[in-house]
């Protein structure tokens, strides 16, 4: 398989791989340094060069684990793209957080970026996202903070995650946003119909997609028998895996989503790369939509 071709996330935006590697569960994978290096380098060999992080993943430990590899391989920094997210504070009395809450204040964003840079072993992030919509978010304060981070060179581009279309529009009116990272899959089709993907198309930005395989449930017959059966049928016809078909279903959307593959299995990276080279026809695409919704389109 030829390495994937990188594409722009948005006009004047960063060049990302068409699928990203997710590190949400990295701490739970219990990989040795050699095993982690093999996983990262396998992704890079496939052309999956965009790595998705967040400050709190793995109890605030995942970025540092990845950073151990990057610090040992500093020459790789120019060949990869690092995404991180901030703004969620889980209940943690040791940190003075008595209740889970969101924090999009200037002070928290700046402190989170500094911690991510140190943990990852880099002096800049390619993309920073506000992890969840914060009811107390002040768009002018966030815009000013983003501007400061850009001037300092610590963050090159910005976006959001899990924002509704109206929440995205509010912040985008104050500062350029290059993506909205959303949950989307055959078991969570809401972004296709609630205006989220439409908004990305209108703005000329590409959504990033978390849980594109519904946390693995799409690959379990008992989780949704109808969808699984159609995935297996189409996979057999096309001589690919069901996971590849499920990811290709997302990639077929004209908003050109960037799915995030977040499994420790090397084969999951292979499936994601294969999906980028598979163009589902309309009938296959709608057969899967029908199975997901339980009825034909009207």
Dihedral pair phi/psi, residue 23, rounded to 5°: -110, 20
Record the tokens describing residue 151, joined without a space: 């001037």
In angstroms, the CA 160 to CA 180 distance is 5
283 within 8 A of 233, measured Cβ to Cβ: no
CA atoms within 13 A on the CB side of 101: 13
- Give the chain's count of helices (H) and strands (E): 13, 12
17 within 8 A of 10, measured Cβ to Cβ: no
Q: DSSP H helical segments within 55-204, as ranges?
A: 57-60, 62-72, 106-120, 139-152, 165-172, 190-193, 196-203
**Does 57 participate in catalysis according to the annotation?**
yes
Which of the following is catalytic: 51, 57, 163, 197? 57
Record the tokens describing residue 66, joined without a space: 């990845």
In this structure, the dihedral spanned by the alpha carbons of residues 285, 288, 290 and 292, taken in order and rounded to 10 degrees, is: -140
In angstroms, the CA 197 to CA 186 distance is 15
Among 211, 155, 221, smallest CA distance to 187 is for 211
In angstroms, the CA 151 to CA 251 distance is 34
In angstroms, the CA 51 to CA 55 distance is 13
In angstroms, the CA 190 to CA 226 distance is 19
Active site members: 57
């Amino acid at each position: 398989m030829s390495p994937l071709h990188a594409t722009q996330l948005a006009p004047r935006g960063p060049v990302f791989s068409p699928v990203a590697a997710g590190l949400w569960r990295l701490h739970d994978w219990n990989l040795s340094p050699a095993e982690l290096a093999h996983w990262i380098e396998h992704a890079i060999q496939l052309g999956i060069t965009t790595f998705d992080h967040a400050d709190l993943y793995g109890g605030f430990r995942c970025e540092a684990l990845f950073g151990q590899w990057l610090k040992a391989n500093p020459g790789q920094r120019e060949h990869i793209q690092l995404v991180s997210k901030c703004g969620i504070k889980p209940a943690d009395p040791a940190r003075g957080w008595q209740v889970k809450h969101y924090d999009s204040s200037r002070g928290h964003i700046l402190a989170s970026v500094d911690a991510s840079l140190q943990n990852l072993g880099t002096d800049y992030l390619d993309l920073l996202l506000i992890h969840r919509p914060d009811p107390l978010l002040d768009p002018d304060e966030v815009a000013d903070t983003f501007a400061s981070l850009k001037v300092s060179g610590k963050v090159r581009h910005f976006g959001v995650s899990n924002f509704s279309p109206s929440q995205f529009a509010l912040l985008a009116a104050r500062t350029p946003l290059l993506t909205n990272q959303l949950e989307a899959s055959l078991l969570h089709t809401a972004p296709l119909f609630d205006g989220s993907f439409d908004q990305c198309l209108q703005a000329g930005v590409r959504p990033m997609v978390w849980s594109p395989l519904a946390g693995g449930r799409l690959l379990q017959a008992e989780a949704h028998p109808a969808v699984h059966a159609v995935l297996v049928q189409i996979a057999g016809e096309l001589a690919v895996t069901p996971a590849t078909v499920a990811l290709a279903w997302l990639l077929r959307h004209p908003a050109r989503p960037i799915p995030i593959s977040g499994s420790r299995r090397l084969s999951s990276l292979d499936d994601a790369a294969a999906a980028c080279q598979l163009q589902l026809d309309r009938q296959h695409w709608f057969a899967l939509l029908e199975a997901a919704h339980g009825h034909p389109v009207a």
